[in-house]
Amino acid sequence: MRTLIILTLLAVLVMVATCYESHESMESHEYLNPFLNRRRANGFIQADTTLEGISRERIRGRHKAPQERQREICEDYYPCELYAFHHGYAAAYKHYFGRRRTK
């Protein structure tokens, strides 16, 4: 009986020692709300507000890479998108739209 009490107390002490939630684990307050507000989500990224940065962003938005344009075209056509899941977007675009000639 004495051994059972000692083993029970030892098990309780081990449980308290391993399951104790310290102050450091609660510092981040992520346990309350793990998701960020939309306004705060991009708060750590500083936008380039210089004239050169703004013009660079506009040029980048206007001129897309050919692969990106092909991928967008393929995503709009469902059979091409299904083919792309198995073979990749480059092969899917070539399979469905590669035979067309544009003038």
Residue 21 lies in a domain: no
> What is the amino acid identity at position 71?
R
Q: Taking the complete model, does pTM exceed 0.75, yes or no? A: no
How far is residue 96's CA from residue 65's CA, in Å, rounded to a whole number?
19
Determine the pLDDT at residue 31. Answer: 59
How far is residue 75's CA from residue 68's CA, in Å, rounded to a whole number?
10
| Count of the separate structural domains present in the chain | 1
Residue 89 lies in a domain: yes
Tell me the residue length of the chain: 103
Residue 19 lies in a domain: no
Residue 39 lies in a domain: no
How far is residue 51's CA from residue 59's CA, in Å, rounded to a whole number?
12
User: In tens digits, what is the pLDDT along the chain, a chain of 103 residues?
Assistant: 889 999 999 999 888 888 766 666 555 555 566 666 666 666 666 767 787 877 777 776 677 788 888 888 898 999 999 999 999 999 999 999 887 655 5
Residue 26 lies in a domain: no
Residue 12 lies in a domain: no
Are the C-beta atoms of 92 and 74 separated by less than 8 Å?
Answer: yes
Domain range for 77: 65-102
